[in-house]
A and B are shown apart, each in its own frame.
Chain A
Amino acid sequence: MKEFSLQIVTPDKTAFDGKATSLLIRTAAGDVEILAGHADLLCALGTGRARIRFADGGERFAGASGGFLSVSEGTVRVAATTFEFADELDLDRAEAAKEKAEQRIKNAKSRAELDLAKAKLQRALTRIQVKTMK
């Protein structure tokens, strides 16, 4: 399969910079899979699982949330708010975050608070899903 160059960054680090054959990621409108030669694209990312496939057949999973995906002139760039590969994730922390978010949803006083707590819960659930998946 043809490769394309893929760059994944978050505000505090570069999560991935190299070649890949496929990128599956959750956008605001649903999952998209990018292969080499994809047309130019710009869209917002949602919260969900991401999968990168490599030329040697290997694949890596990650939890991603927020930010955007841009394809321009064959280069794929992901600027996510968070992007963590499965081996970087801490299950206990994600579980704790999930419980905290659930509490917050119950106690939310305003719409904004509720939205924020829901986003936090979604992130925690994604992390747990990526970590426990095998």
Chain B
Amino acid sequence: MAGVSMNDIKARIKSVNSTMQITKAMELVATSKLRRAKMRAEQSRAYGEIATEAMKKILLAPAVADSPYTRPSEGKKVCYVVIAGDRGLAGGFNVGIFRTVQSLGLENAYVIPVGKKAVEYYRGRAECLTEAFSPVDNLSVGAAMKIARLLIDGFDRGTFDRVVLVYTRFVSMISQVPTHTVLLPLERGAGGQDPMTDEDISELLSSLLPQYLGGMIYGAIAESLAAECGARRTAMNAANKNAEEMIVGLNLSYNRARQAMITQEITEIVSGAEAL
């Protein structure tokens, strides 16, 4: 008998096959979810662009110079909004996000984890402000607004003086990049004049801020969901290919083992006949 028994190889082939069925199904699901998530991400981008543009205009005004929201951070505490996924099996998607946060420095920081994986990961590892934003899959605009209010509340009270949003950017179907943006304090543009408005600029700023932040967070969530589906699709695709390769290899050894057995049997018969 050659090395492994034929039954063992047969069992391996069967198990690899059933794993492949699962990964194939997951790839299909991720592909169809990706299409929807991508559309959602694209639709939320328009709001992000318009809101950012308007915010830039407001920030150019000299009147916002002494707003508490533009005051440079004094190195007190940081609050991270970390957006990860709900499930694993998406390659390095969740790990990539956690690593990015790690590289930014977790000492002296609060975390608002978004998504099941983020909540699980930061429980006990960091000071979490809330665990309410999970699963990430069906978070609404309202939830994003809630996060924004939470952030502004903490910022106003001086609990932290810097807010960083960490999420995965959906670059393309095959490329997803973990990124971070500083939400607060707002960065002031240089020079510029007052935008045309009837309202007091600082008042305008504080009334727009929650909506601006909420929009940015919602956009990041939509973007991250698309990235998660993309990452899962790529990972599952690779798993399928690996499984296929394994099956080819296993089939080969199965056939070899079978051939070796036949050869051995013939040899035994022949030598048995000769001995007579």
What residues make up the interface of A, taking CB atoms closer than 8 Å to B? 7, 9-14, 28-29, 39-44, 66-68, 70-72, 77, 79, 81-82
Contact = CB atoms under 8 A, between A and B. Distances in A.
Contacts of A40: 195-196
Interface residues of B, number: 28
Nearest to A79: B50
Q: Which of A10, A13, A42 has the most CB of B within 10 A?
A: A42
Contacts of A44: 199, 204, 207-208
Interface in B156-202: 195-199
Contacts of A39: 196
Contacts of B46: 7, 9, 14
5 contacts: A43-B197, A43-B198, A43-B204, A68-B51, A79-B50
A13 B53 CA distance: 18
B141 interface: yes
A29 B51 CA distance: 20
Nearest to B222: A12
A42 B54 CA distance: 8
Interface of B: 40, 43-44, 46-47, 50-51, 53-54, 57-58, 141, 144-145, 195-199, 204, 207-208, 211, 214-215, 218-219, 222
A11 B141 contact: yes
Contacts of A10: 47, 141
Q: Which of B47, B54, B204, B218 has the most CB of A within 10 A?
A: B47
A29 B204 CA distance: 11
Chain B binding surface SS class: helix
B205 to A, nearest CB: 10
Given A11-B214, A67-B211, A42 B44 contact: no
Given A11-B44, A44-B199, A70-B57, 19 more contacts: A9-B47, A11-B141, A11-B144, A11-B214, A11-B219, A12-B141, A14-B46, A29-B198, A42-B54, A42-B195, A43-B197, A68-B51, A68-B208, A68-B211, A70-B53, A71-B196, A72-B57, A79-B215, A82-B141
A23 to B, nearest CB: 15
B226 to A, nearest CB: 13
Chain A binding surface SS class: strand
7 nearest A-B pairs in the assembled complex, by CB-CB distance: A11-B218, A40-B196, A9-B47, A9-B46, A79-B50, A42-B195, A44-B207
Contacts of B199: 28-29, 43-44
Contacts of B51: 68, 79
Contacts of A79: 47, 50-51, 54, 211, 215
A14 B208 contact: no
A94 B50 CA distance: 28
Contacts of A77: 50, 54
Contacts of B145: 81
Given A11-B141, A11-B215, A11-B219, A42 B50 contact: no
B165 to A, nearest CB: 14
A12 B143 CA distance: 12
B214 A7 contact: no
Contact of A42 (B57, B211, B215): B57
Nearest to B195: A42
A13 B44 CA distance: 6
A14 B42 CA distance: 10
A42 B43 contact: no
Contacts of A70: 50, 53-54, 57
